[in-house]
Amino acid sequence: MFELMDVFLKNDPISLEKDILYHVEYTVARSRFNFDDFEAYQALSHSVRDRLIERWHDTQQYFKKKDPKRLYFLSLEFLMGRSLSNSVINLGIRDQYAAALRQLGFEFEVLAEQEGDAALGNGGLARLSACQMDSLATLDYPAMGYGLRYQYGLFRQIILDGFQHEQPDYWLNFGNPWEIERVHVSYAVKFYGTVEEQILNAEKCNIWVPGETVEAVAYDNPIPGYGTRNTINLRLWAAKPSGQYDMESYNTGDYINAVVNRQKAETISNVLYPDDRSYQGKELRLKQQYFFVSASLQDIIRRFKDVHDNFDDFPGKVALQLNDTHPSLAIVELMRVLVDEERLGWDRAWDIVCKTFCFTTHTVLPEALEKIPVDLLGSLLPRHLQIIYDINFNFVEELKKRIGLDYSRLSLMSIVEEGAVKNIRMANLSIVCCHTINGVSRVHAELLKKRVFKDFYELWPQKFQYKTNGVTQRRWIVVSNPNLCALVSKWLGTEAWICNVDLLAGLQEFASNPDLQQEWKMVKTVNKMRLAEYIEAMSGVKVSLDAMFDVQIKRIHEYKRQLLNILGIIHRYDCIKNMEKSDKRKVVPRVCILGGKAAPGYEIAKKIIKLCHAVAEKVNNDADIGDLLKLVFIPDYNVSVAELVIPGSDLSQHISTAGHEASGTGSMKFLMNGCLLLATADGSTVEIIDEIGADNMFLFGAKMNEVSTLRDKGAALKVPLQFARVVRMVRDGYFGFKDYFKSLCDTVEDGRDFYLLGHDFSSYLETQAAADRAFVDQEKWTRMSILSTAGSGRFSSDRTIEEYAEKTWGIEPCKCPS
């Protein structure tokens, strides 16, 4: 018999070296005497995978034994990025692996670059899920994530002649060592069909007779915590043809067609939908949502029933978190299972559902709230539509008792939107059925209460909360900025901040210390060098390390105002062009860096990308300008590009029109890395000001309470001459493509400037000038930079997750013994 410890893998460099060679030979099937970087990466990651699996098994066993209340995090999107570095750092064996690889003639960093990103998400919401999974694991919470295993992640952006083109991201091409296929964990998911009235035990009831079955197969992705044995599970579902054959078509001899049709089932999990906030009613998207929700709930209910036989215990053992409304059909599905299958009766089922679900919304735009056409839902999920109608009937009856027959309010709050096309309002459904509705920042919560969900807030004020977003310092400092990590640990005399990021505040007392300042600048310069090399390789543009690296990286959207940034760059270019030679010496050199994807159907966003390239073409090739101004667009922005760009930037821009960014999490990553922020008072920026003080950042622009008055002024709104001048340059074809840019210019002129670029332009330029002045004073700048990192503690996802655990989910840590 083995002693338990015998099966544990050893982590000293010699054992790791042997283990890597084992995987070269037997997993990758290459000769252990001859393998390249990619093969070495594959072997290395399989070796890490083994260690993850060990901890993962122990954690799942321990959770099972302890049977605590668990959190299930349902999200259609997870932007995990790369796993290798993160895993070995969280496992605490990075140095041992690096030593083992050196013996084999490889460098850890080089192999880490071989990995592609797991990009199963669009942007903020999806990366937030990934950061939160890291915190859930690190803080030992008994939690599990559920999502979809898309075969194609977010499209790859390629730029041809300055235009964005989309290419498929077939990320599984070279295998994925970070997942474990669970062929035996699979569930049948049903669609279409009819609802039949039946009599069961002398009771009339509605029974769904589905028409199509697809199989959901589990793929488990272990998520290791930092400094703990706990390794939680991210379970992603893939669609496979069902094992239930349609004998009819096989018997009629149409074998080929029968096989081809079965194969169509797989399309459900084929591709991630790019974020299109004004999208409505795509059948495949709805199928994805239900497929994922149904499989997850079957899994959760099976786990519950393994130990419990009374559903009244369900809310005490299960918290279900809806990441936006995308998984909100889970509410209806749980009702259906409890009423139709478990036969609990409506009232008991309703009580359980309401105590189990909570919902977080990630938007402020009412037009971005998800709606599903009734016809579509009725054909795909007929029984679910009935249940929604029943929920709505009860809700509206209740509401009438509370507010009387105020029909306009009743119709606004109804889950069913009447009109030419009848829709189900998924946000209303979620609010009615969840015990808690969370916003993602303080001001977001205010907007939800005062505007977006005002009527619901008046009805149920106690349901509304907020948890300001956070990001994980493990990925955004430890993995991506190892030099800063080492420096911070040296000055704080401890690595404890990696799990308790509030300790970063300890840097405040050294903010003016010349030695720290010197070392701090050194770290920044080394990171800027890496970024400069990348920029040159990607775009051929050589940039000076003395210049201020000014960065805006995020999805391209009008409200995020990349256009304001570009118009500001045109203004800067124009000023330098018209300067006396002697004045040019005073110009603070800048490298302006933009990156981000535009949704494929979002024309204006695509034009912004093209404008950026057109301006870059002119500016970068102008001999009068030289190193004083460079503009680079980094193609195919994703998580691993962010890991490279953020540590190497001096200044970052978060310049959405006030009242439009629910939170914003990019700013927090820059803040942690000591990059100064140039920002509007929007979303989480307002809270960053509270932490580091307005003097340590560059703020500008209309305030949230001014926006609607300014908008109402329309064409009467005063706009500075400089603004008119730069827009005119674009209009007149100074950067070429005159006709193409016309509609883009139209969005910001003649009273149509919805996002107030014209109004905010002067204060934007003034603030940019203030940033220039601060940069010249390197001592002041470095002090501000240190204070940014020192003040970033509140923006750790550890804090967010602890708040959720305590105030929303009611779960407690469950630490697997080491």
Q: Which stretch binds ligand 26M (CB under 6 A): 4-12, 38-46, 659-667, 736-744?
A: 659-667
Return d(Cα 321, Cα 203) in angstroms, integer: 34
In the complex, what is the shortest distance from the CB of residue 662 to ligand 26M, in angstroms, rounded to a whole number?
A: 4
Q: Pick from 25, 50, 266, 276 the residue near ligand 26M by CB under 6 A.
A: 276
Return d(Cα 555, Cα 557) in angstroms, integer: 6
Rounded to the nearest 5 degrees, what angle is found at the Cα of 498, between the Cα atoms of 497 and 502? Answer: 35
300 burial (CB, 10 Å; 0-12 / 13-18 / 19+) is buried
Catalytic status, residue 18: no
Dihedral sign of CA atoms 77, 78, 81, 82 in order:
negative
In the complex with ligand 26M, which residue's Cβ is closer, 326 or 610?
Answer: 326
In this structure, what token pair is assigned to residue 156?
């790859």
Q: Does 79 bind ligand 26M (CB under 6 A)?
A: no
Nearest partner of 501 among 691, 693, 222, judged by Cα: 691
Query: What single-letter DSSP state applies at residue 275?
Result: P
Catalytic status, residue 303: no
Q: Does 620 bind ligand 26M (CB under 6 A)?
A: no
Please name the residues in contact with 293: beta carbons below 8 A apart, sequence gap of 6 or more: 74, 327, 329, 330, 333
Which of left, alpha, beta for 105 (phi over 0: left; psi -120 to 50: alpha)? Answer: left
Q: Pick from 147, 439, 648, 683 the residue near ligand 26M by CB under 6 A.
A: 683
Nearest partner of 476 among 81, 11, 175, judged by Cα: 81
Q: Which stretch binds ligand 26M (CB under 6 A): 178-186, 274-282, 458-466, 667-675?
A: 274-282
In the complex with ligand 26M, which residue's Cβ is closer, 276 or 351?
Answer: 276
Binders of ligand 26M among 115-154, rule CB under 6 A?
Answer: 122-125, 128
Q: Which of 555, 610, 783, 794 is catalytic?
A: 555
Q: Does 361 bind ligand 26M (CB under 6 A)?
A: no
Separation of CA 667 from chain center: 13
Annotate 211-229 with b (16+ C-beta within 10 A) or e (fewer): eebbbbbbbbbbbbbbebb
In the complex with ligand 26M, which residue's Cβ is closer, 49 or 449?
Answer: 449
Q: Does 279 bind ligand 26M (CB under 6 A)?
A: yes
Nearest partner of 215 among 191, 193, 233, 235, judged by Cα: 191
In the complex, what is the shortest distance from the CB of residue 77 to ligand 26M, in angstroms, rounded to a whole number?
A: 6
Size of the site for ligand 26M (CB under 6 A): 21
Residues forming beta bridges with residue 152, ordered by sequence position? 170, 271
In the complex with ligand 26M, which residue's Cβ is closer, 111 or 443?
Answer: 443
Q: Which of 49, 70, 362, 606 is catalytic?
A: 362
Catalytic status, residue 362: yes
Nearest partner of 85 among 148, 134, 33, 27, judged by Cα: 134
In this structure, what token pair is assigned to residue 195?
């609802």
Q: Does 60 bind ligand 26M (CB under 6 A)?
A: no
Return d(Cα 553, Cα 551) in angstroms, integer: 6
Catalytic status, residue 571: no
In the complex with ligand 26M, which residue's Cβ is closer, 476 or 549?
Answer: 476
Helix (H, G, I), strand (E, B) or coil at 158: strand
Q: Are 79 and 130 in contact (CB under 8 A)?
A: yes
In the complex, what is the shortest distance from the CB of residue 792 to ligand 26M, in angstroms, rounded to a whole number?
A: 16
Q: Which of 231, 325, 665, 789 is catalytic?
A: 665
The helix (H) or strand (E) run that includes residue 631 is: strand 629-634
In the complex, what is the shortest distance from the CB of residue 180 to ligand 26M, in angstroms, rounded to a whole number?
A: 27
Q: Which of 384, 560, 597, 654 is catalytic?
A: 560
Q: Pick from 117, 275, 550, 798 the residue near ligand 26M by CB under 6 A.
A: 275
Return d(Cα 703, Cα 429) in angstroms, integer: 32
In the complex, what is the shortest distance from the CB of residue 76 to ligand 26M, in angstroms, rounded to a whole number?
A: 7
Catalytic status, residue 149: no
Binders of ligand 26M among 244-273, rule CB under 6 A?
Answer: 273
In this structure, what token pair is assigned to residue 487?
């420096």
Q: Does 552 bind ligand 26M (CB under 6 A)?
A: no
Q: Does 548 bind ligand 26M (CB under 6 A)?
A: no
In the complex with ligand 26M, which residue's Cβ is closer, 129 or 296?
Answer: 129
Site string (281-300) toward ligand 26M, x via CB under 6 A = ----x---------------
In the complex, what is the shortest distance from the CB of residue 664 to ligand 26M, in angstroms, rounded to a whole number?
A: 5
Q: Which of 49, 383, 463, 554 is catalytic?
A: 554
Residues forming beta bridges with residue 209, ordered by sequence position? 194
Please name the residues in contact with 605: beta carbons below 8 A apart, sequence gap of 6 or more: 556, 557, 558, 598, 599
Q: Pick from 58, 661, 753, 760 the residue near ligand 26M by CB under 6 A.
A: 661
In the complex with ligand 26M, which residue's Cβ is closer, 557 or 607?
Answer: 557
Q: Which of 190, 669, 794, 799 is catalytic?
A: 669
In the complex, what is the shortest distance from the CB of residue 121 to ligand 26M, in angstroms, rounded to a whole number?
A: 7
Binders of ligand 26M among 410-469, rule CB under 6 A?
Answer: 440, 469
Catalytic status, residue 554: yes
Return d(Cα 335, Cα 342) in angstroms, integer: 10
Q: How many helices (H) and strands (E) does the chain have?
A: 34, 24
Return d(Cα 791, Cα 796) in angstroms, integer: 11
Return d(Cα 41, Cα 75) in angstroms, integer: 29
Q: Does 663 bind ligand 26M (CB under 6 A)?
A: yes
In the complex with ligand 26M, which residue's Cβ is closer, 28 or 662?
Answer: 662
In the complex with ligand 26M, which residue's Cβ is closer, 171 or 602?
Answer: 602
Q: Are 631 and 592 in contact (CB under 8 A)?
A: yes
In the complex with ligand 26M, which residue's Cβ is closer, 123 or 596?
Answer: 123
**Residues binding ligand 26M (CB under 6 A):** 122-125, 128, 273, 275-277, 279, 285, 362-363, 440, 469, 661-665, 683
Active-site annotation, residues: 362, 554-555, 560, 665, 669
